[in-house]
């Protein structure tokens, strides 16, 4: 029997990205204007759901937020309510399942459905709440574009714009000083940002996790360009790139985060290696820029504003149809949905999903097209 919907809630979890406010705006406007639902938003992701920190949302709440990066609801990536960090009476750190408190808060507010916007860690908890009877709709979020089942996530294209513009800017300095310029970008274990951003930004070398690189091959590309009269080179490297017979570069371990392994620093390692191989021969200086959080912020571009609107409005339509325990996806430019288990797996409750990310095909059309125009992948 179809459940009558009167009031819904939403939250944003994980790391921020452009397009989140576009999704929030679409959810609120579609819920109110099309279905006459009441809407509240929990602040700070699952932390707000646990502490009952929320705001009432109406058309005025979402006015003027369309273009803004980040999220007006704020977010946290350290609040797995099925494995929540607390301190016991002896001052010892313990992890507890506090999800029932969150469910109690939902019931207190008479919430009929909950829209959860986030990446794999956030969506894993969404799956777990669905298992406990919460009417959940998931919306995928990441600039890395690596969420399984969907072809593209909002925020990705805006991040690509930042990478392209950064590479454009680095070109002028590289040319002026005859330097090798390295730009390290995000992406975790998927190379989409480095690949498409590098192509758009005219990188000479693109290094991605899916194609382990040989440092001598990278150096050869620089030597070949130098000998042809191009005395500068641009390298775009993903934070998850790794050398042949090597491993990823870990910046730190954050045990409180669902994604505990924080990558970073591979650009500096690459630069140190090239200093020893390239500079003695060509005299070129090697410089590194880590684009960091700039990729996740700023004004949301046209594509992500439209895509976020499609994700948000479709999620509300799914609520009307009682299609719960599912995530919105886009395939062949058509909005669909899949079971959350198809995205994050069917593992144990409270255990964050790992693996299964949507990654670059090292033999696909995009990589082959880049190679056709002379871009090296260090292989």
Give the H/E segment covering residue 71: none
Q: What is the pLDDT of residue 93?
A: 87
Number of residues in the chain: 379
Residues 168 and 290 grouped into a single domain? yes
Residues 14 and 79 grouped into a single domain? yes
Q: What is the pLDDT of residue 353?
A: 56
Q: Is the confidence at residue 255, as pLDDT, over 90?
A: no
Between 372 and 79, the more confident residue is 372
Q: What is the pLDDT of residue 116?
A: 98
Residue 287 and residue 280: Cα distance in Å, rounded?
Answer: 15
Residue 353 placed within a domain: no
Between 181 and 347, the more confident residue is 181
Query: Helix 20-35 crosses helix 302-320 at what angle (to 10 degrees)?
Result: 40
Residues 95 and 201 grouped into a single domain? no
Residues 179 and 71 grouped into a single domain? no
Residue 127 Cα to chain centre, angstroms = 19
The CA radius of gyration of the chain, in Å to the nearest whole number, is 22
- Whether the Cβ atoms of residue 369 and residue 198 lie closer than 8 Å to each other: no
Residue 209 placed within a domain: yes
Q: What is the pLDDT of residue 351?
A: 63
86: burial class by Cβ within 10 Å (0-12, 13-18, 19+)? exposed
Q: What is the pLDDT of residue 152?
A: 94
What is the total count of domains within the chain?
Answer: 2
Residue 2 placed within a domain: no
Residue 55 and residue 72: Cα distance in Å, rounded?
Answer: 10
Residues 282 and 167 grouped into a single domain? yes
Task: Give which of 331, 329, 306 is closest to 25, Cα–Cα.
Answer: 306
Residues 32 and 147 grouped into a single domain? yes
176 CB neighbour count, 10 Å cutoff:
9
Mean pLDDT, range 297-322, rounded to an integer: 96
Give the H/E segment covering residue 213: none
Residue 229 placed within a domain: yes
306: burial class by Cβ within 10 Å (0-12, 13-18, 19+)? middle
Retrieve residue 101's tokens: 């408190």
Residues 58 and 207 grouped into a single domain? no
168 CB neighbour count, 10 Å cutoff:
13
Residues 144 and 129 grouped into a single domain? yes
Domain of residue 290, residue span: 160-296+361-372
Active site residues: 144
User: What Cα–Cα distance (Å) separates residue 33 from each residue in 10, 25, 38, 60?
Assistant: 17, 12, 10, 13
The domain spanning residue 286 has which CATH number? 3.40.50.460
102: burial class by Cβ within 10 Å (0-12, 13-18, 19+)? buried
Tens of pLDDT, residues 20-71: 999 999 999 999 999 999 999 999 999 999 999 999 999 999 999 999 999 9
The domain spanning residue 340 has which CATH number? 3.40.50.450
Residue 355 placed within a domain: no
Residues 19 and 141 grouped into a single domain? yes
Residue 219 and residue 240: Cα distance in Å, rounded?
Answer: 20
Q: Is the confidence at residue 110, as pLDDT, over 70?
A: yes
Residues 13 and 95 grouped into a single domain? yes
Residues 185 and 166 grouped into a single domain? yes
Name the pairing type of β-strands 326-331 and 286-290. unpaired
Residue 313 placed within a domain: yes
Across-strand partners of 131? none
Mean pLDDT, range 194-202, rounded to an integer: 98
Which parts of 308-369 are beta strand (E)? Answer: 326-331, 334-339
Residue 352 placed within a domain: no
User: What Cα–Cα distance (Å) separates residue 165 from each residue in 81, 168, 238, 272, 295?
Assistant: 39, 5, 16, 25, 11
Q: pTM here?
A: 0.92
Across-strand partners of 376? 205
Mean pLDDT, range 351-358, rounded to an integer: 66
Q: Which residues contact 241 (CB under 8 A, 6 or more apart)?
A: 191, 194, 207, 208, 209, 212, 213, 248, 266
Reported confidence tier of residue 345, pLDDT bands at 50, 70, 90: confident
Residue 291 and residue 205: Cα distance in Å, rounded?
Answer: 17
Residue 257 placed within a domain: yes
* Among 84-93, 175-184, 245-254, 336-345, the least confident range: 245-254
Q: What is the pLDDT of residue 357?
A: 82
Tens of pLDDT, residues 142-169: 999 999 899 999 999 999 999 999 999 9
- Whether the Cβ atoms of residue 233 and residue 175 lie closer than 8 Å to each other: no
Residues 222 and 284 grouped into a single domain? yes
């Amino acid at each position: 029997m179809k459940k009558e919907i009167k009031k819904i809630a939403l939250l944003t979890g994980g790391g921020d990205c452009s397009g989140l406010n576009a999704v929030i705006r679409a959810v609120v406007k579609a819920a109110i204007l099309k279905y006459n639902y009441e809407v509240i938003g929990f602040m700070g992701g699952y932390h707000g759901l646990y502490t009952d920190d929320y705001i009432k949302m109406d058309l005025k709440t979402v006015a003027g937020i369309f273009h803004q990066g980040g999220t007006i609801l704020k977010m946290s990536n350290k609040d797995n309510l099925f494995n929540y960090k607390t301190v016991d009476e002896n001052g010892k750190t313990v992890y507890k399942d506090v999800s029932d408190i969150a469910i109690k808060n939902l019931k207190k507010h008479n919430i009929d459905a909950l829209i959860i916007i986030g990446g794999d860690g956030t969506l894993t908890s969404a799956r777990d709440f669905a298992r406990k009877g919460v009417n959940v709709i998931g919306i995928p979020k990441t600039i890395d574009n690596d969420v399984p089942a969907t072809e593209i996530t909002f925020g990705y294209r805006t991040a690509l714009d930042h990478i392209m513009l950064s590479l454009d800017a680095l070109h002028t300095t590289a040319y002026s000083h005859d330097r090798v310029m390295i730009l390290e970008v995000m992406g975790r274990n998927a190379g989409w940002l480095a690949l498409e951003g590098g192509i758009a930004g005219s990188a000479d070398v693109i290094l991605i996790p899916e194609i382990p690189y040989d440092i001598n091959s990278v150096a050869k590309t620089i030597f070949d360009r130098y000998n042809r009269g191009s005395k500068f080179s641009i390298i775009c490297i993903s934070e998850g790139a790794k050398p042949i017979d090597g491993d990823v570069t870990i910046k730190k371990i954050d045990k409180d985060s669902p994604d505990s392994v924080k990558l970073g620093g591979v650009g500096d390692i690459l630069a140190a290696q090239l200093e020893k191989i390239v500079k003695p021969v060509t005299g070129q200086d090697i410089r590194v820029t880590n684009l960091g959080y700039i990729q996740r912020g700023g004004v949301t571009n046209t594509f992500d504003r439209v895509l976020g609107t499609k994700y948000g409005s479709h999620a509300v339509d799914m609520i009307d149809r009682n299609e719960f325990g599912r995530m919105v996806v886009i395939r062949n430019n058509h909005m669909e949905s899949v079971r959350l288990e198809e995205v994050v797996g069917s593992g144990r409750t409270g255990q964050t999903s790992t693996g299964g990310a949507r990654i670059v095909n090292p033999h696909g059309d995009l990589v082959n097209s880049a190679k056709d125009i002379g871009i090296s992948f260090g292989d």
